[in-house]
Structure 1
């Protein structure tokens, strides 16, 4: 027995969109205004979504609950698996005293907090996004900044905002590849178009981060470093996305930014060393940083070097093909091929698949876990200490183990019920202003799903179809979905949950949401205006 999605259950698209937005309104209200803990906000939002799906969209109760539970399981694996293994590696370096050496080695390059944020949150975080994605960069880089002495809220917020630049090409380019598969548009063309939008953001994000940290006047003191990081990243992002493909822009851009910035800081230093106002006197200023041998520094960094090697290795297609063969694939009974998508969301009536894949070997979290075993051997962590430290990490993350499944359950019930499609159709009805709002459609998709890949799968075809109706180049609309989506990543409940787990801010999800929400909206407006200009005035930029 099948159930067909209804996209306008109220007989008025505006009213239907209002009903579909109820879970979003609830989670916005609880996080931004009530500053509620993530597990409370997530639980309330997913419960309201199930009620709207059943009472308004007439979705069968069993189908609605099955979709929600499937999303919750996806939140446990692979998402929570990534979070716990990433934080476990960080905790291991702290417990063994190696992070102190890492901290001092970074301080030997610069003990200025502004420049440390550029190196770790912007450049190293982008590298991890390109190699793994799915929460790994925020979990690792935010934890590192806290270890360096950053205020946890700033560490989490800065890493979420910094993660804007690389998200569209994250996980070896999978968001762009999925967009091509969903729409039938050549993947290289989508890559080229995104590569003619995001580099403009990539130039300003380093400046944006430092202004947020220290104010405009202080930013001018390190403007040369901001420009080196931003321009080197943007240049490689543009070149690789336009002439190589969607797989490598993040990795090449991040390497360019890290190397360029490190070399630049060898010959240039800011006039003043900046630290947070509430910090104690610098214990790790460059004058009193202990001197370590190259071997000692290499050993301290080895967990993150091994981590990087493993996530790159896991991202290679030949390797994936081998290790993915041992996956357990479960067609979810009561949901697989039960829900029918129809026009204009689907080109033709399509039964939605519900495949829960336990890719226990090819999951990024497994790459991190293997990296943790290798790191334990290098650092001399015995089996009993390894197990006790893992148990300690798990205990640290018990609340995120509730929050993450809740927000993934929310994403799935909104997708399978058609609520997300209602909101998309409402934005698509903006006529000649659609190029502007196409970016917000991507923003909405990533907010709901926590993933640029999922947002492209959800709204990619709708973007292409609507673009043809309003006389816009479809490749531009699909690219805007991905580029606009990156600005929603920083406020996605899934991303917020990962960031708070990594920085010890569990229960403070509302504070972090409030920290990032205005930046998310402003950056989305910038992408929207850019897309509007490219649609009508800068058409030569469209491949």
Structure 2
């Protein structure tokens, strides 16, 4: 295997490393009026939200239509050469192959293996040990266990895995996906072993630990609220009224652990510690408290066309069968924990092909080259680690390799149009970014003066809506936040952290995650309906973060900062 650096000067597609085509120079104000340019740049975003939420289009058609709008804006409004714009879209599709598709295929494959082996039913019965109340079970699984998966894997793994685990409880599929999406917010800023915060440090040149400390003082407030939101989504006001102690204990323990770890230990470990502490606190609570009127899945409001499981649990499973049912998820946690050790991480990262994307030369508004390198990091990819976990799970699930291969084929067919949706949206995000549309929106918002502290989380929210990842939004707008802070006399660490904290609320509405959620629960094509279920919560929680960050920039809550 050649070292990664070798591929920079020897592209695998042939030809020389230098391309004769002149580079495309981004212009944040192509119309001569920044406000008009911002409206132009907003057009793809508005189109996407309208098609998904207003017209309830399926994600693949909405994604393809919006990609067409973004290409038209890039070529007609920003003067990007047509072939270069198409190349940018292909570059985005290639980026999604490992970041989303490879990850999600393997996550759902593991779930399908448990179904094929019969251990999914065992898993469902095992959740009965948490009590009969499905609302409390949802908090433990979607919030606490989901945070642990987010800490270790990130990406769409928590949404995919927690959705199907909630279905195991009998939760209707669309509601299960909505719960998993909403729960995957508070841990996102520190997901993937703190990768979004690490990216902030890289793009701004400021200490990442400082961003981690401030983000911990922002998203921990969300952690207090999310469990109550989950109860409301699961069972309305009745859920909050009857099961609020679980939400209080789960949210408060998570928030305190996340805050203390990110500020005084290590931001990379914030979610791991918080998830374990939260799950432990909830399990201790359940030893002495249960809702007076337990609500089973059969008592939840049914969804049209959804088959709600009402059968009574069968005879108690043996301890061995229960351990086999949980084995794949235990293996996932162990593998991802080991993958963070340098002795393991280094050889995995060595299996990486790295090269400059052919024909894609872009200069930023300042004249600096935009990074268009492509890394095929197959060794350390989250999807690869999940594949290893699935293979190691086969003996525990008693599934033969030949049958596992058949299940994998059925898993690929299960996604269908969701693959098109994910490819289209990644292409959209890279066309908007490389053409300069994202930069226009950032510069326009930064021109609002001191009020930018209020809008700072919105910038991150837009970034995650497009890219689907908090790390991606920080890479896009982290530098902008720092620069804007200097222009308005604000703390660059505060606004940089706000970019990450604000972005987490968009995870639940990004088309990539909507496609993952519907594919996981077998409802491909109903992304628009899922979007409408979570969009209001995304905006409400974003508003909370905007107010919090603005007050932190003033003496009112300035004392919250380090």
Are 1:542 and 2:558 counterparts? no
CA contact (8 A) 2:200 2:474 kept: yes
Q: 1:77 aligns with which of 98, 104, 123?
A: 98
Structure-2 separation of matches of 1:281 and 1:27: 35
Q: In the aligned structure 2, how far is the partner of 1:500 from the partner of 1:313? A: 30
SS in 2 for 1:329: strand
1:464 deviates by 0.7
Runs of 5+ unmatched residues, structure 1? 344-348
CA distance in 2 between counterparts of 1:54 and 1:277 reads 48
What is residue 21 of structure 1 aligned with on the other side?
A: 42
Q: Indicate if the aligned counterparts of 1:442 and 1:484 stay in contact, CA closer than 8 A.
A: yes
Q: Match for 1:295 among 312, 320, 326?
A: 320
Partner Cα separation in structure 1 for residue 341 and residue 529 of structure 2? 38
- Distance in 2 separating the partners of 1:529 and 1:126: 25
Task: Within 5 Å, give how 1:364-513 maps onto structure 2.
Answer: 364-513=382-531
Q: Partner of 2:230: helix, strand, or coil?
A: helix
CA distance in 2 between counterparts of 1:314 and 1:57 reads 43
1:323 equivalent to 2:348? Answer yes
State how far apart, in whole Å, the 1-side matches of 2:30 and 2:341 are.
44
Whole-Å separation in 2 of the counterparts to 1:413 and 1:392: 32
Aligned to 1:310: 335
CA distance in 2, matches of 1:289, 1:449: 44
* Whole-Å separation in 1 of the counterparts to 2:358 and 2:144: 43
Unaligned runs of 5+ in 2: 1-21
Q: Does 1:340 align with 2:358?
A: no
Shift of residue 122, structure 1, vs aligned partner: 0.7
| Alpha carbons 1:165, 1:202 under 8 Å: kept | yes
CA distance in 1, matches of 2:144, 2:128: 16
Q: Is the 8 A contact 1:168 1:483 kept in 2?
A: yes
Which secondary structure state, in structure 2, belongs to the residue aligned with residue 420 of structure 1?
helix
Measured in 1, the distance between the counterparts of 2:495 and 2:365 equals: 21
Instruction: Sort the Cα spacing of 1:281 and 1:100 in 2 relative to 1 into closer, same or farther, 3 A.
Output: closer
TM (norm. structure 1) is: 0.96
Contact 1:132 1:312 (8 Å CA) reproduced: no
Aligned-pair RMSD on alpha carbons?
1.3
Report which stretch shifted further, 483-492 or 352-361.
352-361
Structure 2 residue 125 is the aligned partner of structure 1 residue 97: no
Does residue 239 of the first structure (1) align with residue 260 of the second (2)?
Answer: yes
Q: Determine which of 529, 534, 550 is the counterpart of 1:516.
A: 534
Q: Is the 8 A contact 2:48 2:66 kept in 1?
A: yes
What is the CA-CA distance between 1:492 and the residue it aligns to? 0.7
Superposed displacement of residue 280, structure 1: 5.9
Aligned to 1:141: 162
Aligned to 1:194, the other structure's residue is in SS state helix
Q: Tell me if structure 1 keeps the 8 A contact 2:25–2:365.
A: yes
**Deviation per CA, 1:369-414, whole angstroms, max 9, x where unpaired?**
1111111122221122111111011110121111111111111111
Contact map agreement 2:101 2:419 (CA 8 A) in 1? yes
- Once the two structures are TM-superposed, the CA of residue 277 in structure 1 deviates from its matched residue by 3.0
- For residues 481 and 318 of structure 1, do their structure 2 counterparts lie closer, same or farther at Cα, with a shift above 3 Å needed? farther
Tell me what 1:276 maps to.
300
Q: 2:4 aligns to what?
A: none
- Length, aligned pairs only: 533
Task: Tell me: CA distance 1:299–1:341, structure 2 relative to 1, closer, same or farther (3 Å).
Answer: same
Segment drifting more, 271-280 vs 260-269:
271-280
Deviation at 1:282, TM superposition (A): 4.5
